[in-house]
Structures are given as C-alpha cells and as structure tokens.
Amino acid sequence: MTAVLGEERQQVIQLARDFAREHIAPHAARWDAEKHFDRATIDRLGALGFLGMLVPEEYDGLGLDTETYLLAVEEIAAADASIAVSVAVHNSLPTQMLLRHGSAAQKERWLKPMARGELLGAFALSEADAGSDAAGLRARAVRSGDGWVLNGAKAWVSNGGTADVILAMVRTDPEGAPRGSRGIGCFVIPAGSPGLAAGKPEDKMGLRASNTSALFFEELRLGDAHLLGDASSGFIYALEALDNGRMGIAAQACGIARAALEHATRYAAERRQFGRQIKDFEAIQFKLADMATRLSAARALLHEAARRKDAGERATRWAAMAKLCCSEAAMWIASQAVQVFGGYGFMRDYPVERLMRDAKATEIYEGTSEIQRLVIGRELLNSH
C-alpha cells in the first residue's frame, strides 16, 4: 500500500468515525426503542459518499479498496449496527451486481445515482420457504410480449420497505421444466412500480432500527431493460455478490464487538465492588483480555479476506470464514460484556443488551453460521 492510499484510508475512516459519533451514536438507543429507520441519516451518509464506497469513480463512486470499505462499515456499526446494515447491504450487494453485470444504460440509470447516495438499494433473495436453500425460491417471472410479469413474495429484505431500487431473484425457467439454480433471473425493480408492495416492518429481536420487510409481486410488469444480464444467471450473480455481503456483515460484527468491549472496559473502571474497582479483579481482566483477543483475531481474518479479494483471488472461502468467525466472536464478546455489567447489563438503560441482540443477527443473515461451515468445507474439498 502506498503512502497516498494510507492517507486516503485514514481520512475516510476518520470521516466515518466522526460522523458516527456525532450523528448516529447519540440516537441509536432511541431509534432501537422506537424501531425507527432514520432515512435522513442514510441520505447524509450517501451525500458523503458512503453509499458508493466500492463503486469506481467513473460511475460516481469513491472507488475504495475493500479493506478501507470494511473499516468504514466497522466505524458506523460501532455506533449503530442498524444503520451499518443498510450501508453494508447497499454497498455489497445491489451496487456490485449492477457494476459487474449491468448494461451501460442500467449503470447510468441506477448505479450512478445509487453511488451518489440518491437511491437506496435492496437485495431480495430469500423467501419464506427458501432461506438457507435459496435456490428453492418460487417467485416467478413469465415472458409476456416484450417484457416480463412477476408474481410471488420475498422475505426478510433489508431496506425492503425503504429502498428506491430492489434487485430481486425470481424463477425464469418454465414451470414444467425446472432448472434449479440455473433457472433464476435477477430484475431491477424501482420502488413504486405497479404490482410491487412491501409488508409491514418486521418486529425483530435486534437491529430494530433497520427496516426489514417482505416484498410482494402481483402481476408486476417489467421490460427487458429491468433484467440484469442473462435471464438464467441471477442466482450465480447473487452468489458472487454474497462474498461481498458476507464481508460487510463481518465488518458490522466487528463494530458491534468493538463497541461491546469498549463499554465493558469503561464500566469495569467505574463499577466498584468489595471496596475496589472491578477492573482490579483478575477475573475481569482475563475476561476483557479474551474479548480483545477474539476481536483482533476476527478482524485480522476479515482483512486477510479483503486483501485476497482485491488481489483477484477467489474469496468465497475467506469471506465465509470471516463471516463465521466475526459473527460468532461478536455474539460471544457482547455476551461477555453483559456479564461484566452484571444485572445492569440486562437492563435496556445500558447499551450492552442492545449490542447482544444486534450481534445475534450477524450469525443468521447473509448465510447462517451452519451455511458458512458448509461453504468452507465445500471450498476446501473442491480445492483438492
């Protein structure tokens, strides 16, 4: 890495840190309690360039390397994981799919304004009966004249009810001749399209300030200009993007874990028991040491995955390992932070219980920990 890149990286990280501390952290607890998705904050992040971090400058993005992007996501997640997931999903999935497989017209119409922060993106793959088995989805697009008609439903879509542009995977193979994962296309769906509806926001355990909703397609008509790439390759495009998505969630997990460690460390210096600050007890010191070590190890694995991706290597195994390691580290570290706080940690007046709830989601979405292990094992065996 050159000195110029190092200086640029520090500027991006500092900007993310300053914005997160000033404009996000003071409101995170209230947003969580009220289940409030703050679109104004997302728009302000977009105006600063944080919705186009991985998009090249020729398409109005910042053109950052993956590692710098992940460090910025961590800074935002340390203040509020809900805001961070909207940023990570937008940067990692729909913009990258448009960048890799969109036509020149699609990039002009959708990618550029998404990179400028004028449009918020969503990624719709999962369905109620097709979660881990995403290739088993049932939503369908049928040829009709010079376009397509979509029917079906999507589940658990981050930004689903607030996005301006949705990239949705639906079946394009004939109903009587299924082609499995090779019979799925990807469509770019603008919000407000006739036949598109969003369900009510899901009432979640954690990430309560992030909008997650179902999407419904009912006789939704789209022209060929809305089809991304080849009509049978949408699932392949989605899997490619999930390498990026998993690293983004891993960075979010690191931000949650870092915040939990910082809160626990400060509290240990404030709380007194048996006439002493609890930080003086070896049991607490050991707990904090283990938390810091797991976080550092998880972050190091994530950034190794990022470096390999930017070097042009196949990153699927590394992205899955990073997502698995970082998410499980975040859940463990947040749980230990609650333990350091004791009874207060169980109360909503203190931040660590929210961090523990938010951490749990990172073990589930963008592929559960169980799915990550399957991906890692398959990648290892296929390499021999």
Q: Are 322 and 305 a contacting pair, CB within 8 Å? A: yes
Helix (H, G, I), strand (E, B) or coil at 248: helix
List the beta bridge partners of residue 157. 213
Cβ within 8 Å of residue 58, ≥6 positions away:
none
- Give the separation between CA 181 and CA 169, rounded to whole angstroms: 11
Helices (H), the chain: 3-19, 28-34, 39-47, 66-79, 81-92, 94-101, 104-106, 112-115, 234-270, 282-310, 316-341, 352-362, 369-382
- Check residue 347 and report its DSSP letter: S
Q: Which amino acid does the sequence have at 81?
A: A
Tell me how long the chain is: 384
Closest by CA position to 172, among listed 187, 182, 186, 183: 183
Neighbours of 84 (CB within 10 A): 30
Burial pattern 228-266, b for ≥16 Cβ within 10 A else e, equals bbebbbbbbbbebbbbbbbbbbbbbbbbbbbbbbebbbe
104: left (phi over 0), alpha (psi -120 to 50) or beta: alpha
Could you list the active site residues?
A: 366
The two structure tokens encoding residue 108? 């002009």
Q: Are 308 and 315 a contacting pair, CB within 8 Å? A: yes
User: How far, CA to CA in Å, does 1 sit from each of 13, 166, 226?
Assistant: 16, 35, 39
